[in-house]
Amino acid sequence: MKIAVVGAGSSGLVTLKYLLDTYPATDIVCFEKSRSVRGCWGDQRPDFVSTSTKYTTQFSCFRQWSSEVAPKQNFEEFYRGAEFGDYLDAFATTFNLREHIRFGVELRHLEWIGGGWSLLLAENGEEERMTFDSIFFCTGLVNQKAQVASTGIPSTDKYEGICNATVVIVGGGESAADIATYLAKPEHNNTVFLSLRSGIRVSPRYHPIRGVPSDFLRNRLLLSFDKRVRNRVGERFVTFRIRFDRLLVWWFPHQGATKNLNDRAQALRREWDLKLKARAKGELFNVFHNKSDDFLDAVAEKRLQIIGPPIDEQWTDYFDFDQTTTLHLSPDILVRSTGYRSQLAELSGGVICLKDFYHGCVHTDRHNLFLIGFARPIIGNIPSIGEMQARYTVGVLSGKYTLPTALKEKQDEAWNSLSAEYGTINTENVYPVEQFAYCDTLAREMGIMPTLAAVGSLRLWLKIMLAPASTMHYVDECFDRQAIKREKVYTPVILLVFLALMRLIGVPFRLLKSVRNVRITPSRMR
């Protein structure tokens, strides 16, 4: 069997690793357009802070703390700057993956011809066609890099050189917020505006409870609650957290809790945090989050100003954020941070669409075409999801896992449900998921869920339920009992007790509901 992996970033590397564990190396080739395995993590600014924690970002088959890859930081839970790129380099070296990658090769077209996948590839300007039995498409969503239009300053995408300018950044995603925060640093002496069409959800990188990365407080006990319940309770807690962050820090003191903002700036920070949250479209777990404390600090210190959308296509006049007045800016620099898009349609002539992939990774008609890394987490990170997809799809291809019958019908139903649930997201372009709910779905089909019976130890199972949720908890060949025993539980005891009581209170109601749903059939009556 001839197998092609397209893309050698985080998704392609882990897919290549699992394929080499399953198939002969001579059957597999990986194509990478760049000259590196670092993907989008290859050229980060030194001050860039990842929005994913090291704890959940690492592959379960390759555990390595960031302090072992790069110098130790004050908060080493985060991969910073190029550290995750360093991790990917180490991953590729450990498993000798580079010898199976053809660098500098770009995919220009793919189609199903005569019982195989025909790939049009380009290398050094020369095109060639190759045919494969199976394709793992691992390019993920293509980042549409911010386009810089300049009036008086040469066009550039290197933001380090922009100083003493009036800058407008258009977009509300993480990239836009990071660019705006960087350009608003005092040493750059810029006047910076961020243009938004609606509000955005800003989650703190470090939670006021414990001062740890926000997702360290997300454990399986919390995730066991119905999503609608978590949405309702979560909305109220977020409002409480914004308004009473100092009270939370007082209740749960931790190192690094002090912010260098005066009372007036703190009040302005809370005001904008609440305003952006109120204007955000969609519920707490149905829209993408932006994790940037520095972003809100820049707004609070008025180094960064939030404005509304442009009035026309000239990009000189804008509404204010409340859209009650107009602002004439005529910026020196316009940064259009338009986010991400899928290349599937243009590479396949419109034949291959995201909605045709079961769980967003297995094509419903061609069970030899797979997507890895296209699922975009509302909360969570792409590399961990990519590893779960890689293991599942390689297992499907090898026959280890069996796909359900009526796959097309099941996916159509799931897609309609997904589109309804994430109504504010363009699901034709993005496959939105909540990380652990999605990963658990794959884990159930692989039979590796961390149930009490599978774990075999009540104490270890409780640690899995209470420690930060991780894909490293699945009971498979990478399951490390000793590592899990060493994990810390960060959620305060009082909150754990509250969650446990809520679960216990809900048991009778769930039993009553199940009894009411029982239908007494004639056969049962007989």
pLDDT tens per residue, range 194-207:
999 888 888 888 88
Q: Is the pLDDT of residue 89 over 80?
A: yes
Non-local CB neighbours of 347 within 8 Å, separated by 6+ positions: 107, 108, 109, 110
42 against 276, higher pLDDT: 276
**Rounded CA gap, 371 and 139, in Å?**
9
List Cβ neighbours of 236 (8 Å cut-off, separation of 6 or more).
Answer: none
Q: Give long-range contacts, CB 8 A cutoff, 24+ apart: 441-448.
A: 441/359, 442/359, 442/388, 442/389, 442/391, 442/392, 443/388, 443/474, 445/392, 445/401, 446/391, 446/392, 446/395, 446/401, 446/474, 446/476, 448/474, 448/475, 448/476
Worst-scoring range by mean pLDDT, 99-103, 227-231, 389-393? 227-231
DSSP assignment of 286-310: TS-EEE-HHHHHHHHTTSEEEEEEE
Highest mean predicted confidence (pLDDT) among 91-95, 138-142, 246-250, 256-260: 91-95
Residues 6 or more apart in contact with residue 102 via CB below 8 angstroms: 29, 30, 31, 32, 123
Stronger pLDDT, 44 or 148, i.e. the higher one: 44
Which residues are CB-contacts of 242 (< 8 A; sequence separation ≥ 6)?
Answer: 270, 273, 274, 277
Q: Which two tokens stand for residue 40?
A: 């989008």
pLDDT in tens, 433-476: 999 999 999 999 999 999 999 999 999 999 999 999 999 999 99
Determine the pLDDT at residue 145.
52
Shortest CA distance to 122 belongs to which of 104, 141, 143? 104
Token output for 522? 């004639």
Q: Which of 164-178, 336-350, 400-414, 424-438 has the highest mean pLDDT?
A: 400-414
pLDDT for 76 equals: 54
pLDDT of residue 157: 54
Please state the rounded mean pLDDT for residues 277-286. 84
Residue with tokens 């030194």: 46
Residue 517: predicted pLDDT: 53
Q: Are 37 and 9 in contact (CB under 8 A)?
A: yes
pLDDT of residue 502: 82
Per the document, the length of the chain is: 526
Give one DSSP letter per residue of 18-35, joined into a string.
Answer: HHHHHS-GGGEEEEESSS
Could you tell me which residues are beta bridge partners of residue 399?
Answer: none
Of the pLDDT bands very low, low, confident and very high (cuts 50, 70, 90), residue 317 is: confident
Neighbour count for residue 104 (Cβ, 10 Å): 12
Per-position b or e across 125-147, b if 16+ CB within 10 A of its CB: eeeeeeebebbbbbbbbeeeebe
